Amino acid sequence: MGLKGQDGPLRLVVTGGGTGGHTYPALTAVRALQARLAAQGRTVEVLWVGTAEGLESRVAPAEGILFAAVATGKVRRSSNPLKMISPANVRDMGRVPLGAAQARLLIAEFRPNVVLATGGYVAVPVGLAARSCGVPLVVHEQTVSLGLANKVLARAATRVAVSSASTLPLLPESARRAAAVTGNPIRPAVLAGQADKAVAALGLHGFDRSLPTVYVTGGAQGSVQINTLVTGVLPWLLERANVVHQCGPANESGLRGQAQTLPPHLAGRYLLTGYMGAELPDVLALADAVVSRSGAGTLAELTALGKAAVFIPLASSAGNEQAQNASYLEKAGAAVALLGDVTADDLQEALFPLLADRVRREAMAARSREHGRPDAAERLVDVVLEAAAGR
């Protein structure tokens, strides 16, 4: 695909971050774009514009990507409009014009062919600067709802890429005409896991492979709520399944003592670990069901793999997006969503039919797979290249 007659490097500004949910899809898209153009004998020059404090400020340099920081302000949301006019909000919003000026200067100097914005507060000044400089802007939304930053940028975007068709009606009418359903990019390694490698690497020789395996995770830092719920049903659960429990490094020592009280025949079916690293794709391949939060990245991975899931959303997620994500898949028969004040009995009730009935579990997995887009990064690259080419 030609880019307005240019045969040199494609110049891309990527913006977005603050959290992994905005940062890692952007990184995956950059890598897919680089691979696509390398196959055509071309290169990509990338400038990542983020905040000095955000995750992107560490990820981009570690990945060899040029990084620049701009000022930005965070809007602290409240159901009471009067509480929105807080000193912290007023102070932070005063930083937005400075960030916009900094972003405009960076874009004028870098002269990108296209800007990709993946959300987070920093995306707003950079996206608006792209629009004011006449640079094509592609906005990507990871969740089934629409993030606050992307609500602002959708009207300024050349193209909008969404992860789910259910997001399309939430876009301004003008943005819907330029929208594409791409899915949420996930790391290729996630799709390449092998169950037997997980057994060997983690020493899961006490696992009974005739039983289903449940993977429990609260994210990289773990979740006290999920850990407590799973501990509350653990002996019952281990009578029916093998369990890999990623509990978070800070929580591991406290849970280790409880695990040591398990009967020997159950203890062999239980692996407790603080952190899951390179072996995660293999653990996901081994898992027949997953208990987890319901962030956008988690949904993208589990649906791409086609996994039965019980979601326990993080109640404090921005805009209650995790609950919306989980409810969306539950309505499709692709997951169970446990909302509100969840008890150990609720978790047991949700898991029992999935563990007792292989056909039911596989049917849920199949419905999950129907919502997966393992080629999301390539679809997003298509949209970025079309925007850069003026199409």
List of long-range contacts for 326-332, beta carbons under 8 Å, 24+ apart: 326/294, 328/144, 328/164, 328/166, 329/294, 329/299, 329/303, 329/368, 329/371, 332/367, 332/370, 332/371
Gap between the Cα atoms of 290 and 24, Å rounded: 21
Enumerate residues 6+ apart whose C-beta is below 8 A from 3: 10, 113, 385, 388, 389
Q: How many residues does the chain have?
A: 391
Cβ neighbours around 273 below 10 Å, total: 17
Q: Whose structure tokens read 């609260």?
A: 218
Enumerate residues 6+ apart whose C-beta is below 8 A from 135: 13, 107, 112, 113, 114, 115
The pLDDT, as a whole number, for residue 2 is: 42
Domains contained in the chain, CATH given: 10-185+375-388 (3.40.50.2000), 188-370 (3.40.50.2000)
Gap between the Cα atoms of 159 and 229, Å rounded: 42
Gap between the Cα atoms of 263 and 276, Å rounded: 25
pTM for the full model?
Answer: 0.87
The pLDDT, as a whole number, for residue 5 is: 44
The pLDDT, as a whole number, for residue 20 is: 85
In terms of Cα–Cα distance, which of 366, 194, 211, 374 is closest to 280? 194
In terms of Cα–Cα distance, which of 295, 323, 293, 297 is closest to 311? 293
12 neighbors 47 (Cβ within 8 angstroms): yes
Gap between the Cα atoms of 208 and 201, Å rounded: 16
Collect the ranges in the chain with pLDDT lower than 50.
1-2, 4-5, 76-78, 84
The pLDDT, as a whole number, for residue 6 is: 54
List of long-range contacts for 153-158, beta carbons under 8 Å, 24+ apart: 153/117, 153/123, 153/124, 153/127, 153/128, 156/127, 156/128, 156/130, 156/131, 157/117, 157/127, 158/387
What pLDDT, in 10s, does the model give residues 192-225? 999 999 999 999 999 999 999 999 999 888 999 9
SS (H, E, C) 131-161: HHCCCCEEEEECCCCCCHHHHHHCCCCCEEE
In terms of Cα–Cα distance, which of 223, 231, 206, 237 is closest to 298? 223
Exposed (0-12), middle (13-18) or buried (19+): which is 217, by Cβ within 10 Å? buried
What pLDDT, in 10s, does the model give residues 279-302? 999 999 999 999 999 999 999 999
